[in-house]
Amino acid sequence: MKTFHLDAQFESMFEPNEMRLLALVSHNNMKESMKEFVIANKNLLKKFRLTGTQSTMMMLKDIFKDEPDITYGPICVSGPLGGDAQLVAMTVMGQLGGCIFFIDPMDSHPHNVDIECLCRQCNVHNILMTSNPTTATILLTALRFALQSGKMELMPSFFFNLESPSVAAYKKRQQAVITQYSEEN
């Protein structure tokens, strides 16, 4: 992937601990792309509390080394061992604000159901989610602007509990089932 140098240093209006976690995850064949992405966007990424699966987090620690202004969240286990499921739990519990997941579209994954569940729960909870380097690069432009200008409404999943617009209809259907069951008993 061609890297553009758009990562000037800047002041964020929010501290990393004031926001929910940003997860960085990459499949094995996408690790080099993730590494290039992180190096090209270090100044922006360090404005977040970072979490991810084990090998990606080890790569982050190697890139950032001993920088004092980097904040890490929990390190999840490898994806096939439940790391994606750990990220799902963080999403459901309101701890995750965004997920940059470089998914390998050319390989099969033994934990594909966990990957699908993570993507689904990011959609259910209206969490910022991107699955490839190009979309992630464009997304970071918006995040940089939101951080610099202090506009949390431009990155609401890092601050607020959200849900897909379809969740309200689901809850209404579920309430009808519960009401019917209660009336029958």
**Active-site residue set:** 84
Q: Which residues contact 61 (CB under 8 A, 6 or more apart)?
A: 72
C-beta atoms surrounding 79 within 10 Å: 28
Q: Facing residues of 21 across strands?
A: 96
Q: Which residues contact 39 (CB under 8 A, 6 or more apart)?
A: 3, 63
C-beta atoms surrounding 185 within 10 Å: 5
Overall residue count recorded for the chain in this entry: 185
